[in-house]
Amino acid sequence: MKFKGLKKVALCLVGAGLVSSLQLEAAQAPKQEYKPDGYDIVTIETPKDERFHVTGIDSDSDGVIWVATRFGDVWYYKNDTWFKFAQGLHEPTGLLIDTDGSLLVSQKPELTRIVDSDKDGVADIYQPVANDWTFNDNYHEFVFGPVKDEQGNLYGTLNLSHNNPDAFTMGAMGSPGGYRGFAFQVDTKGVFTPYAWGLRSPAGLGTSPQGEIFFTDNQGDWVPTSKMHLLEQGKFYGHPVSLVDVEGYTRESIKEMSVDTFAQMSEKPVVWIPHVEVANSPGNPEWDTTEGKFGPFKGQIFIGDQTQSNLFRVLLEKVNGQYQGAVINFMNKFQSGNIRTEFDVNGQLWVGQTARGWGAQGGKPFGLQKVVWDGTMPFELHSITLTETGFRMSFTDTLSSETVVKESLKAQSWQYHYSSSYGSPKVDLSTLPITNVVLLDDGKTIDVTLPLTSGKVVQIDFTGLKDVNGRSVSVDKVYYTLNQLLASKQQ
């Protein structure tokens, strides 16, 4: 199978289930402030009279912070002072410092390398790296990334159009062609390859410490709730309209395909991200590689959300060789919409912010903040892993054994309805009985026994648990995406 306009890459078909029997429940965002003990938000003063919507961010080995702003500028922050480095870009939404010190910036028409050749602190070379997609001057046709894998290949994602009269639509978003709704790769020789498709509004990419590429996608048509995927070549991620750029498909043939067929083709996310309760518009996944400088969450993933003005964690594991895991809120009450995250060499988590176009719980239209840790050990859920009889949940501090009882926890499960509708309510919502809770010898870990069914999201509330000092967690709900059971328990 070929791409229209290119010569290779086959379409891979992978099974996934389609659900029915809708049950409505109004999801609600947490109303209270939540943040772990020892963590604080620091607000960075941005340049005066600049609309400083931070839509791209990276840091270098000296701790200098580099940002791209939505209105086309690139700045760097050094010794508490801002310096403008580049300007005139078309709504950039991603920035990466390359190994040679140049910057790679994604803007709507192209991926651009920006260089300061005379070392005067101001860019003087703007070099196109890739522009093989079509930009139709549509407000929604953002380009996200780039990120880089261990071999030096670059990856980005291309948003679908919205309200484009020439676009092919099967819901709210559309594609007029030109690889809208695709992920792309640019190899070390500069060759552009359409890499995967079926994306909707994939607003964030990240590279894991193992060199794998992950991306988030925003809730909407054909995306029942926001999600995170492992990016793999030749895979289809659920939104049908991008198939117009895959050889063998036409607008007419795509419209004749059933929802069930699209569902069978679609890749499963590694996590579903419950709408409103955790996120509406998630940004890039950022791994904690600070080796403890940011506290006890080494190796975990942090993502910001533009609408909820919060941060949440993703806790991944491999089950039967495939990634799945959980999401849990981390901190809220940021000043604006959190769209970009970046750990610096000092273990601080920088958060780039914009509310333009969508709005955010935080009242400010733009900004830059960072999260710092003062060394205090918080009491929070650290990790959750699947067992044959339920879940093993580990905490950051020693639990009070008196609170480790069934009555301290409750659980429920549901799934989502895949369709052209804008999002999905919870489907087949059910309460799960917790039949046993056991405290393990380390004093920080419990085994929770409850019934398991693959294909569900499992929510566990652990409000009643306390640590030995009487502290309660700041976040008492975790959401596990149960794509698979352990091999010995598959149903």
Q: Are strands 445-449 and 301-305 parallel, antiparallel or unpaired?
A: unpaired
**pLDDT in the model for residue 16:** 30
**pLDDT in the model for residue 5:** 56
CA distance 24 to 2: 41
Contact of 419 with 488, CB cutoff 8 Å:
no
CA distances from 182 to 118, 159, 175, 462 (A): 36, 8, 10, 39
3-state secondary structure of 282: strand
**pLDDT in the model for residue 489:** 64
E-strand ranges in 285-343 read: 286-287, 301-305, 310-319, 322-331, 338-343
Contact of 311 with 341, CB cutoff 8 Å:
yes
**pLDDT in the model for residue 146:** 98
Between CA 444 and CA 453, with CA 449 as vertex, the angle to 5 degrees is 125
Phi then psi dihedrals of residue 264, to 5 deg: -65, -35
**pLDDT in the model for residue 310:** 98
Contact of 145 with 106, CB cutoff 8 Å:
yes
CA distances from 293 to 285, 344, 377 (A): 18, 10, 12
Phi then psi dihedrals of residue 242, to 5 deg: -70, -15
**pLDDT in the model for residue 488:** 77
CA distance 294 to 280: 26
Q: Please give the average pLDDT of every successive group of 10 residues along the chain, which has 491 residues.
A: 49 30 59 95 98 98 98 98 98 97 98 97 98 94 97 98 94 96 98 98 97 98 98 98 97 98 98 98 98 98 98 98 98 98 98 88 96 98 98 98 98 98 97 98 98 98 98 98 87 50
**pLDDT in the model for residue 490:** 61
3-state secondary structure of 263: helix
CA distances from 434 to 183, 348, 404, 410, 451 (A): 41, 38, 12, 7, 8
